[in-house]
Structure 1
């Protein structure tokens, strides 16, 4: 039996539309939903097994990517948003009513990913955003209660839908982080 990785990837990866340039993210509230306008396609979209990202009910992974911070604007019912955990590097802004994370923002200007906001493209009203390209923090699902002995099955299922599983970020993003760390250490 297949594991519910995430509703948008469980049956395979659906490729995005060429030229997709953003749209409106909508929380799951039936009345007065929070709406966030995003003026960009998603970059580095991936399945994420960390314990902090919002996941749909029953899913083992979230699907999250980044967009330029200056392309994200709360357009409706922003008064319903609250930061989930102010102590975290990524300040996840979630709807207080339905719990959906609308965007995550890094305020630390010295962080390698400052200037990028994290979003869940499945919340777009419009179809066509970039498809996930890898799976990150796969082993972290154990921290959420997933049985360690089932991990080989999870990795095999991830690979069967065309994603490469990593227990950190993919090599490109790890290179960005390492380059940033080097530059910070040798700035003088």
Structure 2
């Protein structure tokens, strides 16, 4: 199989490290005065993402992204280099103005994910972050320039890597969103 670059950490095998990750420091790609973000505690729902909003390494069709409680995020160096990419978006992605790397993205408005921040685990200084467990928004990679004729091969590669490909979120996360919505509307207690 000659699949385009999915993401450096999952191209030939799935990054497998510490499933009990206790956080660490995320570092942007700047060689001079990089932004550093401290993540306290573990991360959850690490996955490959094909959406066009997430930051991806050069040449990659997918990002690798996870969530952490926003209260566990703090910028510890060079916060003046951060700017919000799209102030109208649900996820307020803070990116380095110099290198463009997305450092953290809190969900601040009312939503099932309010109180969570999206991060890119490959930015941890250490290599002990939990492996991705699924691929989300796979079809959205087409919107980012992937030829539709490549999608069958991409989905097959994700399955070979043990990452179930979805065109939305994983069933557990979709159930979480639907439960939150049902409770908000009064359909569930």
Tell me the alpha carbon deviations over residues 85-117 of structure 1, each in whole angstroms, 9 at most, x when there is no partner.
001000000000000000001110x21001111
The ranges of structure 1 where at least 4 consecutive aligned residues each deviate by more than 4 angstroms after the TM superposition are: none
Aligned pairs for 1:88-167 (under 5 A) are: 88-108=89-109, 110-167=110-167
Paired with 1:2 and 1:112, the residues of 2 have a C-alpha distance of 34
TM-score (norm 1): 0.97
Contact between 2:26 and 2:124, CA under 8 Å: does it hold in 1?
yes
2:3 aligned residue: 2
- Matches for 1:1-188 after TM superposition, within 5 Å: 1-108=2-109, 110-186=110-186
Q: Secondary structure at the match of 1:91?
A: coil
Q: Is the 8 A contact 1:49 1:62 kept in 2?
A: yes
Distance 1:14 1:105 in 2: 25
List runs of 5+ in structure 2 lacking aligned partners: none
Question: Residue 18 of structure 1: CA displacement?
Answer: 4.7
Q: CA deviation at 1:159?
A: 0.8
Q: Is the deviation greater in 128-137 or in 12-21? A: 12-21
Aligned length in residues: 187
Unaligned runs of 5+ in 1: none
